[in-house]
Each structure stands twice: as structure tokens, then as C-alpha cells.
A = this chain, B = another copy of it.
Amino acid sequence: MEHLNRRFFLKTSATGIAVSLLPTMSTEVAAADSSVPQVQTSGDPKDATKRLAQYVLKAKFEDLPTNVVKETKRALVNYMGVTVGSCKHEAVEIAIQSLSAVSASKQATILGRKERFDALNAAFINGVGSHVFDFDDTHLVTNVHPSGPIASALLAYSEIKPVSGKDFLNAFYLGVEIMIRFANSTAPNHADIGWHVSGSVGSIGAAAAVGKLMGLSEQQMLWALGLGASQLVGFRDSFGSMNKSFNPGRAASNGLFAALLAQKNFTSSNGVIEGRVGWAQTVTTKIDYQELLGDLGSRFEIAKDTYKPFACGIVIHPAIDAAIQLRNQYQLKAEQIQSIKIKGNPMMLELCGKKTPQTGLEGKFSVFHSVATAIINGQAGEKQYSDAAVRDAKTITLRDKVDVTSDSKIPKKSADMVITLNDGRVLNKFIEDAIGSVANPMTDQQLEAKFTDLTEGLLSSAKNKSLIEACWNVDKLPNVAKLAKLSVA
């Protein structure tokens, strides 16, 4: 079979990149591979998929450093808060209505809701919810949002088969780590081409994570990675529509789907990542295998996962941080303020310069509204970006007093704010690293406050508390299915 397999492009070359012109058995286009770009490779592509599979199979919860366990829990707290918080969002409602026509199984929870679905569609719907506020975790190098696809697939699977909290947390770490590494190793090209990275690398990450819980053999894990990688989701073209949150949602169900098939020996290639016409060749023009696979188990990209404190464009975050700090320090009221002057990186106005936003969504891209509402309310969560909040008269009065100038010497993570009060006082705050960055992460308490703010009106205070507690203590749960059930009011 070896001769034949080579003709089928199974493990066609040791380097994995397309240089030879092996004949094709394909009934689909006998491709010349002449006129299209070939992926530029750095690092060692040899057996890349196999090395990834082997790491996934051997990775143990007990071997994770304390800070990695902690960060994985923080990612879980953030995921659970935003997903439960979004459970009545229109996109989630529509997904539930649409898929009830085809789903009869009640095996898995829709976080925060009474409806139950089969695991595949539950993974999708929860994945949509995780991203629809654009308030999920972010790995700042590539801005990939890894938790949605991974946690949504794992929680759904945990309602089919019993999964311990430790195993869940380990698989969650693995999936997130893999997604971040795929994003890092192909940045910026993979995204520049057009892919929405949180969707496009989600299926393979989720397949690996669920496959880990299933206890797949190495061969089955290779197939799970192959089937997972074969399902790409999402273009950047989708931004601004529900299709954006569709992408990580579909990645979650795709990954679970791939693992379910591989578990029963549905075959794939053995080297989907590095194959001559495999993942890297097809979906990116650059890949760094050292970035993808180097130091697995000792370099932890998940440790750099971050959480947004504010439900708006990330370039406004330093300005909001300054506003809230001054407000709290001086117990400011809107009526006291004569003017608010901000110096920020040019991207602040470029991306979020909407002077007179009319809707909540527009407000998320208005530094003017954001700073005004932050002064008045002391926060800039989902509630501060409702249509009503954006049209609030008091907020509009204050936002008209906000003035922003661009200064290319100020980095995107920073902002300088001067507030002049009616009594003549001049207050100043310079933010070096905005809250929520790697250098200045949200505290656990701030994460909890974000969670509680998002779930207010959806969960009772007691339910909210016990769900947060369960997330922090997930490694002590004998059966993680409890987690999803706790989210339901």
C-alpha cells in the first residue's frame, strides 16, 4: 500500500511541504500545483501532526504548572459569565428556534436556559453565545478567542459521557493552547488572507480536546485532528453580523463531530497539518512549526490569555480605565465636569471614533460614549452598551464634553486623560497598560464582578455564587456535567 498511498498524497513527503510533483490518483483535478503560492515553512514540519497528537495524548493535569491551572480556571470563569450572560441574545434565540426543527435529543444544556439539545447542536449554540458580546477571552498577539469553541465542545461532551473536573480542565487547557499556537504560528498571514481565526482554528482545537477526553489511540487522534482540521469556518467578511459568532460556535460542533467519528475509526490522513496538500498549504501562506509545536508542555501560551473588562473595542480600554480610576479616586459626578481631554494612539479614533452613536452596537465603537458612561456608572459592561444607555440624555451631555487627540507616540495599550472640573481643578491620569492586558490583568475579583454583572437578572444571587464557585473549583468535581446544569436558573 505504501506506493499507492504516496499516490494518494498520504504522507507524501518527509518535509510535508509541496516541492515534488507526485502523480495524483485523484478523480478531482490532477493539479499542477504550478500557479498557486506554496506555504512558506520555518521550523521542522516533519511528523508535525503526529508530534501534536502525541503531546495531546501524554499531557496530564498533574503536570500543569499552578499558574496554568489558574489561568485555565480564569478562562472558564470568563467563558461561563459571557455565555450565560448572552443566553437571551437574539442570535442565541434564533439558533435555538432554527435547530429545534432537527434536534430531538435533550442530552446537553444550553448554558443559562431551560432548553436542552443534542450535544452537537448544544456545542454550536453555546459557542455562538460565547462570542456574541465580543466579550470573550483574547490572546493579544493574534486576538484569537480560544475558550468559546473549546469549552462549548467539552461541556457538551461531558453530558454524554462522565468527565472528571481534572480531565475537563486538562482538555480545556489543551484545546486553548492548540488554538493559540495555530493562530501564533500562522500570524498574520492566515488572518490577512481572510480567515476569522477564532473559527478557522477552532475545529481542530476542539477535536483534540474532545479526543483527549475520549481516550483516543494515537491513530484515532491523528484522524480526529485530520477530520477537525478539514472543517474550516469563517471569514473576516462576517464581522458585524451574527455570522461572526456562528464561526466559533460551528468550530465547537465541528470538533466534537470529528472526535465522535474518529473514536469509531472513521479514517483521515495521518499528517493533515504538514501534508503536501493539507492544512498549512491550503489555508495559510506562512507557518512556523517551532511556534506551533516548540516547547509543548513547558511554554504555555494560555498563560497569556486575557479578559476584557469592558464590552467595547479594545483600543478604548486604556481611556475607560483612566476614567474609572479618576471617578473612583475623586468620586466624580457628571455635573462637576467641564471637559475631558484624552490623548491616545491614532487607532483609538480610527477604530472607535464614532462621535454620536445611535445604537448600543455603535456605542461599542465610540470612545466618547464609553468614557462618558464609565464616569457616570463606574463601569462599561454590556448594560452600558444597550440602545437605551447610548441614548441616555445625561450620558449624551457628558460625551459632548469629551475630546480626543491622536498622538502616535502613545502606544495602543496606553492613554492620557485630563479632566477639568467646573471648580477649576485639573485631574490627570496616565494609563501605561490598560486593565485586562497581560501586564495588568483583571483580578479574580474583577472577573467575578464581570460575571455577576453579565448574569444579573438571569441567575439568582445564590445560583450565581454557586456557579462561580464551581468554576473555580472545577478540578474537584467528580463529574463536570454539573457545571452546565448549575448555569440554569
A residues adjacent to B (C-beta < 8 A)? 1, 3-5, 7-10, 23-37, 91, 94-95, 97-99, 101-107, 118-120, 134, 138, 142-145, 160, 187-189, 191-199, 223, 226-227, 229-243, 246-247, 250, 257, 260-261, 263-269, 271-272, 275-279, 281-283, 285-286, 313-314, 347, 350-352, 354, 359, 361-362, 365
Contact = CB atoms under 8 A, between A and B. Distances in A.
B143 A28 contact: yes
Given A4-B362, A104-B104, A361-B4, A98 B37 contact: no
Contact of A227 (B142, B246, B261, B361): B246
Nearest to A281: B194
Given A8-B240, A31-B191, 7 more contacts: A8-B239, A30-B143, A35-B286, A36-B193, A103-B118, A226-B243, A235-B272
A7 B243 contact: no
B239 A267 contact: no
Given A99-B260, A197-B29, A260-B99, A237 B7 contact: no
Given A98-B263, A120-B102, A230-B246, A31 B281 contact: no
Contact of A261 (B98, B105, B239, B265): B98
Nearest to A259: B98
Contacts of A37: 37, 193, 285
Contact of A276 (B95, B237, B283, B313): B237
A223 to B, nearest CB: 8
A7 B351 contact: yes
Contacts of A27: 134, 138, 143, 145, 313-314
B91 A104 contact: no
Q: Count copies of this chain in the complex.
A: 2
A299 to B, nearest CB: 21
- Most chain B C-beta atoms within 10 Å of own C-beta, residue among A10, A266, A268: A266
Contacts of A230: 199, 233-235, 238, 243, 246-247, 250
A360 to B, nearest CB: 12
Given A231-B233, A246-B266, A192 B105 contact: no
A278 B243 CA distance: 12
A234 B283 CA distance: 11
A9 B64 CA distance: 40
B102 A102 contact: no
Nearest to A97: B264
Given A97-B264, A227-B246, A269-B243, A189 B35 contact: yes
A276 B237 CA distance: 7
Given A267-B242, A275-B235, A347-B30, A118 B104 contact: yes
A199 B34 CA distance: 22
Nearest to A240: B8
A31 B98 CA distance: 33
A250 B1 CA distance: 27
22 contacts: A7-B351, A9-B237, A10-B237, A26-B239, A28-B198, A28-B239, A29-B142, A29-B188, A30-B351, A98-B264, A101-B260, A104-B105, A194-B282, A227-B246, A229-B235, A230-B243, A230-B247, A231-B232, A232-B232, A232-B233, A246-B261, A250-B257
A112 to B, nearest CB: 19
A210 to B, nearest CB: 12
A120 to B, nearest CB: 5
A241 B260 contact: no
A31 B94 contact: no
Nearest to A241: B267
A239 B241 CA distance: 35
Contacts of A3: 354
Nearest 5 CB-CB pairings of A with B: A8-B240, A194-B282, A104-B105, A237-B278, A237-B275
Contacts of A101: 119, 160, 260
Contact of A9 (B134, B160, B197, B240): B240
